[in-house]
Structure 1
């Protein structure tokens, strides 16, 4: 059953009385934006952000979320909440400044009825709100519509999140206890300063995030692992994925110049580096819980690599290789490779090292021929291993 999400974004951060916890920078975006993407990825079809004041940072976050197809709205009062909240679906409640691993968010999203994510009382759980003598609320709750609207009717000027949690405790809501290791390692945290947010971001990026994209060839075995190593470091430096993607495209265009000047191997090496940067950009999108693009922007760097092969080959075989490789590229990016294993899929990142090796031995023409045969075999493997 679908559910909505309510995110709190009104508490001030420790860095500045004018700043909000929700506006802290986290994983390449604001914290509340990251929370919204977590909820959407877990299945929330509507997201409401409770605010006391609408700041430019919150407005921009809503614009970015809306541009990515996530239904989100800012709510300033209980009247608006009553109007916007669904009466036939549960609510996923996220505390102000809470960072909870995606596994916990998805587990809570899969439940039905009232439930609380809790942690045992300890020194590590001190920042969280106490709910009884032995446990504290870990920043995530599943609230049924009856409890939500029953609480709104009597809430007045109280804190909605904490009032809902206390009402859920009184109603005997199911409790899901967070392991202490999650607290110690930063997979569940409550932050109120940029320094804390940065520390937790390091834990989140170190743990790794993946959306299960199927990749083939050298992209799967070499470029993607390298991107997983580079991505977290760039994320901590707050480098946007779009800047890395633009750099990949620019480097791919620059690589065509040495190829035109007959410095073919230099150009091929630059094209391979361009493909690596494109993979890093995808990794940064994954860490920020954004879906890597599947439109023309995603194919810009690989298409420049194909153009470089055509320029270097200067023959109809090179053109035919680029066309077939382009088809394989689209199939790989759109997950249309059936049940073929990664090593069976020939990609631009696979062909470039082959051509570099052939060029080192002065056998570039033969390298194009071998690449064409490999592509034909790859297409055959995809067809033969496909299932209805």
Structure 2
């Protein structure tokens, strides 16, 4: 079992709040640290804070609301009592922000191990551990080392004392090479710089042509304001699915254009939610749940479109069902057989099918647009099967 350990006690250099409370990527530093540790495999997060401020309590509550096990402790002895000797603990130092690769590098080795930087002019802000190296703020220890440290602490501070004990125990030193983001967030200015670095490095693969060339630039433009307002990415993605469900209801009621407009708007809303989710390290299970919810809503809207167009013949219902079947087969093929590498952007996906309907709707050829959707879904399924066969 892996436990994440976060120390939250130092004040920001301007004295405005604690370092852990500084805003970054639409959340606090503490929340970013907690989500990173969970993404690395931590089953629970222990936050050591002698002073439980309202902001720390609220941040912890938001993590719990997302299904993360969070324990707030005020005394080092409480940490020692809650860990087992064989348990692994990954400590993230106060105010340190990094990416998943840093945690994975430590976890690839045995405990104890520490992440280190070379002693140089640009690393002078990091804690010096010997004549040639400085600590980069991450430490992997076992429960026995933590319990031994707690017994000897007295007036000593947990973070530095645990580091010294790890070094004396012969901790492996893991260099920071290959880690894209590593910074100490000590004030609001540093938080903004790190947020910009996270935004540049956030990986979110575009799902298709429309997403790549229309929605993604818009999401990157709106993301800073959304992060400043601490908008929940999950709400955006749920809202996107809700728009598609409302579109389905409108189609059943005979309202084609209002339904199409809502479906068109659902795309950028979902992309902005996915972009913010990548920036704020939302849990994989939450991202997958949001994706499944939108796919289900899109399927309902597709069937409602076929029902709406039945005045031109019941073949419209058959085409809508066939489109849904082809898209389901496409997704299942990519899930079980594999995705083509690289994945062509022209392959059918939810937003591309929605936008394909727009020109036909403008011309009044709704049934033709539905037929083109069916052909696009079928052609994409055949293309993926051939592409993955060549790679195997």
TM normalised by structure 2 equals 0.80
Query: Per-residue deviation at 1:307?
Result: 6.8
Q: Distance in 2 between matches of 1:222 and 1:322?
A: 27
Q: Distance in 2 between matches of 1:207 and 1:330?
A: 32
1:178-234 alpha-carbon deviations (Å, 9 max, x no partner): 24x96xx8x111112122112111101111234x7xx85546655674476446434
- Give the 3 Å change call, closer, same or farther, for CA 328–71 of structure 1 in structure 2: farther
Q: Distance in 1 between matches of 2:108 and 2:366?
A: 55
Q: Which runs of 5+ in 2 are unaligned?
A: none
Q: Which runs of 5+ in 1 are unaligned?
A: none
Mapping for residues 144-163 of structure 1, pairs under 5 Å: 144-163=142-161
Of the structure 1 ranges 62-71 and 110-119, higher mean CA displacement relative to structure 2 is found in: 62-71
State whether structure 2 residue 348 is matched by structure 1 residue 354.
Answer: no
1:114–1:174 contact (8 Å) kept in structure 2? yes
The residue number in structure 2 matching 1:190 is 184
The residue number in structure 2 matching 1:4 is 3
- Give secondary structure in 2 for the equivalent of 1:93: strand
- Give secondary structure in 1 for the equivalent of 2:102: helix
Of the structure 1 ranges 291-300 and 281-290, higher mean CA displacement relative to structure 2 is found in: 291-300
Q: Distance in 1 between matches of 2:335 and 2:319?
A: 19
Mapping for residues 333-372 of structure 1, pairs under 5 Å: 336=335, 338-339=337-338, 341=340, 342=343, 346-372=348-374
Q: Distance in 2 between matches of 1:330 and 1:194?
A: 46
Q: Distance in 1 between matches of 2:22 and 2:89?
A: 24
2:244–2:301 contact (8 Å) kept in structure 1? yes
The residue number in structure 1 matching 2:236 is 244
2:75 to 74, 77, 80: 77
Mapping for residues 319-334 of structure 1, pairs under 5 Å: 319-326=317-324
Query: Per-residue deviation at 1:386?
Result: 9.2
Of the structure 1 ranges 54-63 and 228-237, higher mean CA displacement relative to structure 2 is found in: 228-237
Q: Distance in 1 between matches of 2:138 and 2:153?
A: 20
Of the structure 1 ranges 60-69 and 198-207, higher mean CA displacement relative to structure 2 is found in: 60-69
- How many residues align? The count is 378
- Give the 3 Å change call, closer, same or farther, for CA 320–279 of structure 1 in structure 2: farther
2:309 to 287, 307, 313: 313
- Give the 3 Å change call, closer, same or farther, for CA 311–55 of structure 1 in structure 2: farther
The CA RMSD measured in Å over matched residues stands at 3.6
